[in-house]
Structure 1
Amino acid sequence: MKRLFLVVFAAVLSFSVAADEPKAVDLATNWLKVVDAGKYAESWNQSGPMFQRQLSTKEWEQALTKVRTPLGKTLKRTVKTSNEYNSLPGAPDGEYIVVDLETSFQNKKAALETVTVRKTNDEWRVVGYFIN
């Protein structure tokens, strides 16, 4: 009986994360729209505490200005993949969804953006952003 409960509990838990995946992907794409609009301080404010502890608003604004300005306007963005993780290198265990997006900018035709979101207190928040 205990074994059945654990299997059912694990299945329910995995369904819960899977059901949240579209919310997390929407959060990531909406957050990127804030970045696209040049509202870097606002994107920092919308990010999770784990993100905010890594760098100040000013450091975030400087980093994004340096990286995003040369790329020019965002022309097209599509979600390539989204994957669930309970553990990521250098991060505490938790519920994560990593969203990879293929993006075309005015001055860079093919880029890969990666947005990591983490569930904290039943709320998904951005905790990482990388662009290649």
Structure 2
Amino acid sequence: MKVTHLLTCLFLCITSVVLAQDKPEALAQKVADPWLALVDKGQYAETWQQASAAFKLQLTSDKWKEALVSARTPFGKVVKRTLGSAQYTTSLPNAPAGEYVVLQYQSDFENKSSATETVFMMKDADKQWRPVGYFIK
């Protein structure tokens, strides 16, 4: 009886972990985290390459680099970043209908503590999650 109970608990724990990893929020975060690491390293051209098709239509690689340099330089290097929230939605203001995940990170930087970074992820036509927007305040 105890072995059956233990196996049932183990099965439920494994199932809940697997199901949680398949959620859009978790799938989008798996792409967003390494993408943010590239932003942190100043690899802006690479972040533009990895962005969604809709993102690339909005601005060129050069404009993206210019915007990131302007936005991130005053903050300095990242000291700590923690996911605060992740929300799945099928609509965003001024965006076409689709599948989106809005990820908000609470981040500390060398020159600014307690900043909020927001990464908007979009499921592209090829069904892959890709960044479609980034804001920091």
TM-score in terms of structure 1 length: 0.85
Alpha-carbon distance between aligned partners in 2 of 1:37 and 1:27, rounded to the nearest angstrom: 16
Unaligned segments of structure 1, at least 5 residues: 1-14
Match of 1:46 in 2: 50
Question: Is the aligned partner of 1:22 residue 2:17?
Answer: no
Alpha-carbon distance between aligned partners in 2 of 1:97 and 1:65, rounded to the nearest angstrom: 25
Report the Cα offset of residue 115 of structure 1: 0.2
Q: Which amino acid aligns with 2:75?
A: L
Report the Cα offset of residue 59 of structure 1: 0.4
1:32-51 per-position Cα deviation (integer Å, ceiling 9, x unaligned): 00000000011000000111
Unaligned segments of structure 2, at least 5 residues: 1-18
Report the Cα offset of residue 20 of structure 1: 2.8
Match of 1:59 in 2: 63
Q: Which amino acid aligns with 2:94?
A: G
Percent of aligned pairs sharing the same letter? 44
Report the Cα offset of residue 26 of structure 1: 1.7
Alpha-carbon distance between aligned partners in 2 of 1:20 and 1:68, rounded to the nearest angstrom: 27
Question: Is the aligned partner of 1:90 residue 2:94?
Answer: yes
Find 1:117's aligned residue among 118, 121, 135: 121
Alpha-carbon distance between aligned partners in 1 of 2:83 and 2:26, rounded to the nearest angstrom: 11
Structure 1: which 4+ aligned runs deviate by more than 3 Å? none
Q: CA RMSD in A?
A: 1.7
